Structure formats: C-alpha cells, structure tokens
A and B are shown apart, each in its own frame.
Chain A
Amino acid sequence: MKNKITKQNLITYGIVLAFYIIVEILMLTGVLSSHMKGLLVPMTYYAIIAVALNLCVGILGELSIGHCGFMCIGAFTSAFFSRATENSIPTVPRFIIAFIIGIAFAALFGFLIGIPVLRLKGDYLAIVTLAFGEIIKNVINSFYIGIDSKGVHFSMKDSMALGMEADGDIIVNGAMGITGTPHNANFTIGIVVLLISLFVVQNLVNSRDGRAIMAIRDNYIAAEATGINITGYKMMAFTISAAIAGAAGVLFSHNITTLTASSQYFGYNASIMILVYVVLGGIGNIRGSVIAACILYLLPELLRGLNTYRMLIYSIVLIVMMIVNWSPKVIEWRKRTFGRLNLKRAKEVA
C-alpha cells in the first residue's frame, strides 16, 4: 500500500523532472523557439496554482472560485518588496525573501478568510472566495504607496496625496500597479517551486492529516463522530492551498515587469480558468492538474496560427477533452477499444 503511493508520487516528480531535462536540452541545442521559451515560466506557475486549487477542491472538497485573489496577494506583496529593496539587497537573498513574503501574506489571508467561512457547511466558501477575489483587486487598485527619504507614504486617494519628496519613488501607483519589478523568475526556479509544492501537497495527502482532510470531504458527519477537528483540518488545507497560490503569484510578478490588479489576471474569469485546469486534470488528481494546466496553457498559444478562430477552437477542444476524459459512455468505449492496453496498466498498478 505504502509502496504504491510512493511510486505514484515518484512518477509525478519524474514526469516534471523529465520535462525539465528535455526542455533544457532543447534550449541548449537551440531548437526551442523563443515563443516556446517565453511560455515555460507561465506554464510552471499555472501548474503550481492548479496544484494549490486541487488541494482545496479535490482533497478538501471545498469549492474556491477566487484562488487568483491569493495569487494576486502573493504577486503584489512580493513585487512591492522586490521593488523597494531592489538596490539594497542582492538578487538571490532578495528573491528568496520575496518568496517568503508572498507566501506568508497569501497564507495569512487564506487563514483570515477561513476563520468564519470554513465553520459553515455547503457552498459558502465559493461565494466568499469569489467576493474576496474581486474585493482584493479593487482594494489594490486604490492603493498608492511611495518611499522617499522620510520613509513610507501611503494614500488611498491619489498619488499627489502621498506628499512625496523630490527623491521619492512611487512603488504602487493605483491602477497603474507596480512597474519595473526585477525579472528574476526563470524556468529552473519555476520547476523547483513546482516540485516543492508537489512535494508538500502529495505528502500532506498521504499523511495522517491528509487522511483526516479526505475523511471530512467524504463524510462530514462520520469524520466529526470519529473525533476529527473539522474546522482545524479544513483551515490547515485551505491555508496551505492559499500559500501555494501565493508562491505562484510571486513567480507571476517576477516574470513580467508590469503588475496591474486587473480582471484579466486576477478576476473571476482567471480563477475559473484555473478551476478548468483542475476539473479537466481530474478532481483530486494532482498529477492530472499539472498536465492539464500545461496543455491548456499551451493550447491557445500553439493555435496562434489560426488567428481569431483560435478562441473558438480552444473552446471546442475544451468540450471535447472534457467528454473524452470524463463521460462514462466514452470511458466505457475506451475500455472496450483499448481494453488490452488498460488490462496491462491494471496489472501493473495491482
């Protein structure tokens, strides 16, 4: 039993590592187009946030449709730190501290939201996270923060209200967000963070705590009757999920130099997109989310050749993939057609 789980986990790490090695080789030999190279880092952070959301939706069984809000917090807090200390701390320690800050703040907000909501049963978390994602966007849009020789200035009115000295530097400028974040993220760092999040989530799932969390998902009353601290475990899973989403945000903000809290990055549409990755990859299937996130992020980019039709094709592909992967009829048909293949795999798993 134990062995089987370890093997499954190792396969997941193996896939990520193999992908990394192959891409590195391709990059060294120069066959990888710059378009593909540019897609690598986004692919890793969408995979990371998909893993985070899968922990929340698949393992904990609570629907969250505002996970990009946590990503937003991670992105803004870490970018703020990096911008403010760009000239005073060397790159490596600064980026590590930025990660810690981004993750810590995202976890803190996850914790705060969890306190009232996770005590309830039902779909309340979905509603609250949806609202949270929208609120955080609007709040950040009205922040003006600057630093000058006198210290940090803060305003929620406009940048003039900051009353900055001439040498001042406005770091967060309302709707204009943060510009000029150092470009520190790269593919290697992205893969390392992805591996760490996989390690955290997979080990959590297979631990005593993880079994308690899944027990809550599967039967709330039975779990409560066996003496599991329901709110505590829910909080734990949700906070970890938010923290990992924050890590994805740190990568996000250090990959492109303009960071604005607008809907196309952090709105509910973006959150739903992450949910699509999770659903398509298989709810509760961590490896599936990673693969689905990579494929679905790549797909519209690879369809660029079709110009504006690519949006149409992308949606059709989504529907087809959903049916092929999860429709019971199709699964039955697949079993009949590829029966021999499946048999082999079944033997191996057993």
Chain B
Amino acid sequence: MKKAKKVFSAVLASAMALSLLAGCGAGAAKGGSDTFKIGAIGPLTGAAAAYGNAVVNGAQIAVDEINAAGGINGYQIEYKSEDDELNAEKSVNAYNTLKDWGMQILVGSTTSACSIAVSENTKNDNMFQLTPSGSAEDCVKYDNVFRVCFSDPNQGIASAQYISDHNLATKVGIIYDNSDVYSSGIYQKFAQESEGKNYEIVSAEAYTQDNNTDFSVQLQKAKDAGADLVFLPIYYSDAALILTQANTMGYAPTFFGVDGMDGILTVENFDTSLAEGLMLLTPFAADATDDLTVNFVKQYNDKFGETPNQFAADAYDAVYIIKAAIEKAGVTPDKSTSEICDAVKAAMLEIEAKGLTSQKMTWEASGEPNKEPKAVVIKGGTYVSAE
C-alpha cells in the first residue's frame, strides 16, 4: 500500500516536472498579429560557426534596415535565430523551438543536410522556407522551399560551361573533398557536364576532411597528367594550402574555383600573391563598388567587426526576397502560417529580385533561382571581373 502511494507520488511529481517543461514553449504558439515573425537557423557554434553566424548576421542587417524603413507593408519584422551545431537532428530541434516562438517564415537552414531535414518538417507544417545557402539538389524538393544560392549541380554545370566557352584549358585536373556534400556534389555534375567539351579531365583526385593538410600527391598527379587548369570545387581554407603547396613544387596551372573559394584573400598567413590569377565563380564579392554592396559591407563591418562573405550576402538577400514576395502576395501577419506560405509561394514565381548576389533573380516552381554566375579573377590582391 505504502509502495503504491510512493509510486503514485513519484508519477505525480514527474507529471508536474513535465508540465513545467511543456509550459516553456507553449502559449506563444499562435503568432502575434501585428508583426511578421521570421526565424533563421544555422551553426552558431562549432566548426562551421563562421557560416551560421554570417547567415544570422546578414539577415539581421536586412531586418533592421527594413524595420527602420517602415517594415513590410507597414508591419514590423520580429527576428530570431537558433543554433543547430551543423547537426540535422539539432536543426529540427531548432526549427521546433522557433515554431513555438511563433515563426511564420524560415530563413534557413544554412547547410544542406540540415536544410533537407528541416524541409521535411516545413513541408508537414506548410511553412514557407527560403534557404540562403543550402545548395544540395534535395534541399528544394518540396514546393514550399526555395533557395537564394546556386545549387551544387548548377555550379558544376556553370563552371564546365565557362571553362569551355572561354577556352581556358585543354587538360583539366580536379581536386575535391569527397567527404563533403558540397564539394562532391559540384564535382559529380562538373565531370558529367565535361563530356564532349573542348577539354578533357586528366585527373580527379579526392581527399577527405581527415587528411586535408598534405595535397602533394594530388597535385603531383595533376602535374604529371599535364593539366593546365586545376578545378577546385572546395572551400577556401583547403584551397589556400593547395595553392601554397603547388607553388612550392613549382607547378603553376590556372586554378579555378567556385563560390566556396570566396574568402581566400582573408586566410591568415596566406601569401595572397599566390592567389594571383585564380578564377572563381561567385555570386558576391565584398569589394564590389555598387552602392548596395558598399553599404552592406560597411554596416556589417560596423556591427560585427568583419568583412561579410557570400553566406551573409545570401541571407541578406533572402530577407529582402521574402519582403518582395510578401508585398506581391499582399498577405498580413494575422493570417495563419499555412495561408502565408501558400500566398508567398505563388508570389515567388512572379517576383523579380535585385540584391547583393545578383542584379536579377527569378524563381521557378522547382525552387531554383535563375541568376547569372559572376566570374572573377584575382588581380593585384582584389577581385576583378573576368569578362
């Protein structure tokens, strides 16, 4: 009898504790009716924190600007960001947290795998999702998800196209990271697209994140095969090492990168003269001289004390794209999340946005943006348009 009482009291106590937990998030679930609530998700801690923080900060600047200018259709934006530690499971948790907060539109997730995992949930809830930088093909497989950046396959295709159109090479070597979704995604499409082009791929060497310090084997193979252009669909930190090591072994082909290469000039202890002549396809260059970029870079520098990269630019554009789509759809924040999603989704196909990452962007129902890649070449330590 006494034991039964004890078990009973334990059950009651745990029930109380649980309802306490439940109380944490509930209540606010129905969004405010006079503000748009936009949430952002990205890795704010851990190894990829640079990307997540760039997205969160870039979006913050856009939100502040829009609010200062009177908001969207007169409604202010409320903005909140959550950390996902580059973990798809945590990204879903972050999404659920933001949902409890009352989020109506999601800018995120920053990275591909996280974005795919979250899109499963936004699909179920019918929430509008615009990922600034989730570039894997599957990120936008649902009709409520759109993206700002190029997809990985598109970058591969665009690179192959550019190299052949401009007769940059006859023999191409590739060094890529096969433990990375982004890098292997671009590589696969590039290799497919290269068939029948006016150059041939003579070497394709992979490395992984566990052995990204010594590239002499990969470089030697490219050199022995006589590659006059080395395609590097990788992030800039590894690329900086490759350039340095190529220089030491006296190998000087043209190096060609994609948007992950943006940032190579900011690597510490890297002799930027080695990057001279490096070509890259990027949607954003922090030292462009148009008003929009200059203004953005200045604000970002003032607020966060560093130069923004393409992730920040993508997120900044994402918020303005959402603004344009909401204005086009004419929705008000008192509508349900699902109604907002349906309206904004339809408006996305009609708007034409201008932003940091492109002069003109339009969207297809597939969620892919139509925009021109910009090719730049590094000359005298800065980006110069390659055209």
Task: Give the B-binding residues of A (Cβ under 8 A).
Answer: 11, 14, 18-19, 22-23, 26, 30-39, 42, 138, 141-142, 158-160, 174-177, 179-180, 183, 255-258, 260, 262, 264-265, 298, 301-302, 304, 307-308, 311, 348
Q: Are B100 and A35 in contact (CB under 8 A)?
A: yes
In the assembled complex, the Cα of A318 lies from the Cα of B78 at a distance in Å of 34
Main DSSP-derived SS at the A contact region: helix
Interface membership of B22, Cβ < 8 A: yes
Q: Are A256 and B117 in contact (CB under 8 A)?
A: yes
Q: Are B7 and A19 in contact (CB under 8 A)?
A: no
Residues on B with beta carbons closer than 8 Å to the beta carbon of A36: 21-22, 24-25
Q: Are B22 and A32 in contact (CB under 8 A)?
A: yes
Residue in contact with A304 in the complex, picked from B7, B88, B97, CB distance below 8 Å: B97
- A-B contact list, 16 entries, CB within 8 Å: A33-B24, A33-B26, A138-B210, A158-B178, A158-B191, A175-B179, A175-B184, A176-B185, A256-B89, A258-B113, A258-B114, A258-B117, A260-B113, A262-B113, A298-B21, A302-B24
Nearest-CB residue, chain B, relative to A260: B113
In the assembled complex, the Cα of A307 lies from the Cα of B116 at a distance in Å of 24
User: Chain A nearest CB: distance from B90 CB in Å?
Assistant: 8
Known: A258-B113, A308-B44. A264 touches B179 (CB 8 A): no
Residues on B with beta carbons closer than 8 Å to the beta carbon of A38: 92-93, 95-96
Q: Are A180 and B138 in contact (CB under 8 A)?
A: yes
In the assembled complex, the Cα of A258 lies from the Cα of B28 at a distance in Å of 29
In the assembled complex, the Cα of A36 lies from the Cα of B20 at a distance in Å of 11
Would you give the 0/1 interface string for B18-53, flagging 1 where the beta carbon is closer than 8 Å to chain A?
110111111001000000000000001110000000
User: Chain B nearest CB: distance from A303 CB in Å?
Assistant: 11
Q: Are B188 and A33 in contact (CB under 8 A)?
A: no
Known: A22-B18, A35-B99, A256-B92. A14 touches B179 (CB 8 A): no
Known: A18-B14, A176-B184. A142 touches B120 (CB 8 A): no
User: Chain A nearest CB: distance from B339 CB in Å?
Assistant: 19
Known: A158-B184, A308-B45. A35 touches B97 (CB 8 A): yes
Known: A160-B191, A175-B181, A311-B45. A31 touches B23 (CB 8 A): yes
B82-138 interface with A by 8 A CB criterion: 82-83, 85-89, 92-97, 99-100, 113-114, 116-117, 120, 136, 138
Residues on B with beta carbons closer than 8 Å to the beta carbon of A265: 87, 89
Residues on A with beta carbons closer than 8 Å to the beta carbon of B181: 175-176, 260
The 10 closest A-B pairs by CB, nearest first: A33-B25, A38-B96, A35-B96, A34-B96, A31-B22, A33-B100, A258-B116, A35-B97, A258-B113, A257-B120
Residues on B with beta carbons closer than 8 Å to the beta carbon of A307: 44, 83
Nearest-CB residue, chain B, relative to A38: B96
Nearest-CB residue, chain B, relative to A30: B26
Residues on A with beta carbons closer than 8 Å to the beta carbon of B179: 138, 141, 175, 262
User: Chain A nearest CB: distance from B84 CB in Å?
Assistant: 10
Interface membership of B15, Cβ < 8 A: yes
Q: Given A38-B92, A38-B96, A257-B116, 12 other A-B contacts at CB below 8 A?
A: A22-B11, A22-B18, A34-B96, A35-B96, A158-B184, A158-B191, A175-B180, A176-B184, A257-B117, A257-B120, A258-B116, A264-B46
Q: Are B87 and A141 in contact (CB under 8 A)?
A: no
Q: Are A264 and B25 in contact (CB under 8 A)?
A: no
Is the interface on chain B under 10, 10 to 19, 20 to 34, or 35 or more residues?
A: 35 or more
Residue in contact with A19 in the complex, picked from B14, B117, B185, CB distance below 8 Å: B14
In the assembled complex, the Cα of A120 lies from the Cα of B383 at a distance in Å of 60
Interface membership of B198, Cβ < 8 A: no
Q: Are A308 and B83 in contact (CB under 8 A)?
A: yes
Interface membership of B3, Cβ < 8 A: yes
Residue in contact with B87 in the complex, picked from A142, A179, A264, A308, CB distance below 8 Å: A264
Residue in contact with B178 in the complex, picked from A31, A39, A175, CB distance below 8 Å: A175
Residues on A with beta carbons closer than 8 Å to the beta carbon of B24: 33, 35-36, 302
Q: Are B100 and A264 in contact (CB under 8 A)?
A: no
Q: Are A31 and B117 in contact (CB under 8 A)?
A: no
User: Chain A nearest CB: distance from B33 CB in Å?
Assistant: 20
Q: Are B14 and A174 in contact (CB under 8 A)?
A: no
In the assembled complex, the Cα of A301 lies from the Cα of B83 at a distance in Å of 10
Q: Are B18 and A174 in contact (CB under 8 A)?
A: no
User: Chain A nearest CB: distance from B206 CB in Å?
Assistant: 8
Residues on B with beta carbons closer than 8 Å to the beta carbon of A34: 25, 29, 96, 99-100
Nearest-CB residue, chain A, relative to B25: A33
Residues on A with beta carbons closer than 8 Å to the beta carbon of B192: 160
In the assembled complex, the Cα of A39 lies from the Cα of B95 at a distance in Å of 11
Residues on A with beta carbons closer than 8 Å to the beta carbon of B141: 180
Q: Are B26 and A32 in contact (CB under 8 A)?
A: yes
User: Chain B nearest CB: distance from A256 CB in Å?
Assistant: 5
Residues on A with beta carbons closer than 8 Å to the beta carbon of B180: 175
User: Chain B nearest CB: distance from A272 CB in Å?
Assistant: 15
Known: A34-B100, A160-B192. A176 touches B88 (CB 8 A): no
Nearest-CB residue, chain B, relative to A39: B93
User: Chain B nearest CB: distance from A47 CB in Å?
Assistant: 15
Would you give the 0/1 interface string for B242-275, flagging 1 where the beta carbon is closer than 8 Å to chain A?
0000000000000000000000000000000000
User: Chain B nearest CB: distance from A133 CB in Å?
Assistant: 13
Residues on A with beta carbons closer than 8 Å to the beta carbon of B15: 22
Residues on A with beta carbons closer than 8 Å to the beta carbon of B94: 304
In the assembled complex, the Cα of A174 lies from the Cα of B191 at a distance in Å of 16
Residues on A with beta carbons closer than 8 Å to the beta carbon of B113: 177, 258, 260, 262
Residues on B with beta carbons closer than 8 Å to the beta carbon of A255: 89
